[in-house]
Amino acid sequence: MDIIAKSFAEYKNNFKVCLLFALLLVFVPLFIIPFFKVPFFETGITLSSGTLFVDYLANAHTPLILLLAVIFLAPYSFFVTLISFAVRRDLSKVKVHFYLNEMVKKFALKIFTFYLIVFLLTFFIALALSAINIYAVLVFLAIVFIAMVFFMFVPQVIVVDELPLGLAMRESISFVRKNLKGALQVLIVGSALLLAVGVFEYFIDLFFLNVVAVDVFASEFIAGETIAIVITLVFIVPFIEIIKTFFYMLKFDLIKRHELAK
């Protein structure tokens, strides 16, 4: 829990960097209402609990969704790089100007490549399995989720250790195996925050239903979902990346002793 407190302090110290994630909100209407002409439930995308869920069934909007997802991953990867680097900068001495001008772009490209590979493999395999039945897709997604636990520190390895993508993936697996308890704690914190956002979204919708008398079941009503995704992008996503970076950097004895001594 000490890591949580220190990570929250890092979040406050780097709040301006965290706010960059809010720029990703521009993609939300593009995802759920392609060209602003059709209701979101026809696009294969569902907005709920601060998350965009993809329907792994091919439809007329699938090419557009794939294109938007690839475009979305580019700034997302860059922002993940920036927040991870900000924590590294705070915990160790680095030449900020050199890294911002030279290395951050290289880090972001590697992280983008990683996210892109994961997304495309997951999407197309799930799409193929959907021809069998929904249970095959669910089993596959469960396997992907478990596998991603071991790859969850790939961005941190790239930014902190400056390793190429292949070695970063191997190092992430090794780090999780050696620190499984801590990695699971990070996962639990992230899951708990997303669950809390889902509950908050429910009460927002309940408020509009009972107090404002709005039909929250109408397809065009997304007040709760919108507030939830704002919280997710501005707080939860950068905060989890901060926790991951902080936790990963504690593997260095000098930093660990310094931080624990505070």
How many domains in the chain?
Answer: 1
Which of 82-91, 184-193, 196-205 has the lowest average pLDDT? 196-205
For 161-183, what is each residue's pLDDT tens digit? Answer: 999 999 999 999 999 999 999 99
Residue the block writes with tokens 């780090």: 175
Counting residues of the chain whose pLDDT is more than 70, the rounded percentage is 74
CA 85 to chain centre: 16
Q: Residue 63 — left, alpha, or beta (φ > 0 → left; ψ -120 to 50 → alpha)?
A: alpha
Could you tell me the sign of the dihedral formed by the alpha carbons of 168, 173, 175, 176, in that order? positive
Query: Which residue has better confidence, 32 or 204?
Result: 204
Q: What is the pLDDT of residue 262?
A: 55
Q: Pick the closest to residue 123 from 142, 149, 148, 141 (CA basis).
A: 141
Q: What is the pLDDT of residue 119?
A: 92
Q: Which domain holds residue 85?
A: 2-261
Q: Rounded to whole angstroms, how far apart are CA atoms 185 and 182?
A: 5
What is the pTM for the complete model shown? 0.85
